[in-house]
Amino acid sequence: MGDTEATVKSKKTVFVTVGTTSFDALIRAVDTHEVKAELLRRGYTQLLIQMGRGSYIPTKSEGGDETLAVDYFTFSSSIADHLRAASLVISHAGSGSIFETLRLGKPLIVVVNEDLMDNHQSELAEELADRKHLYYARPLTLHRVIADMNLDSLIPYHPGDATPVAKLINRFLGFADD
């Protein structure tokens, strides 16, 4: 007898990425009971964690009626498939991860690594959060951001057109307009 749509709970995956860095504070935060319970309450069923070079190992779980399925890995040649399959992405504040996720139109929570010196990444995350393209958190505020987020309020990100800037530079350099 095959499974029907009514008997199979739809999968909603949260993908967490730290890129090539070590960001144990983020991995610890998503591994807390509070964050997992809030994700489950909001209908998410799976948590997939790309933990990078970190030393903290999250707790794996098969999932079930009252628990999230949790799995992790260190690195992948490409995270694009994981991003595409995700219903929600929680990411470090690296610009590559942020813009790749936004271009795919995925809801995004950016968690800033407060241990980094001269953290220009927080400026990018704050600006994009102010423009309502993503949510912004710190490891200790992640559970509250998840509890309070309204994904319908996010505004899709559309990359800018660099043509006017290129034309201005060409004019400045003495090249003819095309």
| Each residue's pLDDT tens digit, 50-107 | 999 999 999 999 988 788 999 999 998 889 999 999 999 999 999 899 999 999 999 9
Question: Could you tell me if 70 and 47 are in contact, meaning their C-beta atoms sit under 8 angstroms apart?
Answer: yes
Residue 97: strand, helix, or coil:
helix
The answer to whether 47 and 80 have CB atoms below 8 angstroms apart is no
pTM above 0.75, yes or no: yes
Domain boundaries, the chain: 4-172
Q: Which CATH superfamily is domain 4-172 in?
A: Glycogen Phosphorylase B; (3.40.50.2000)
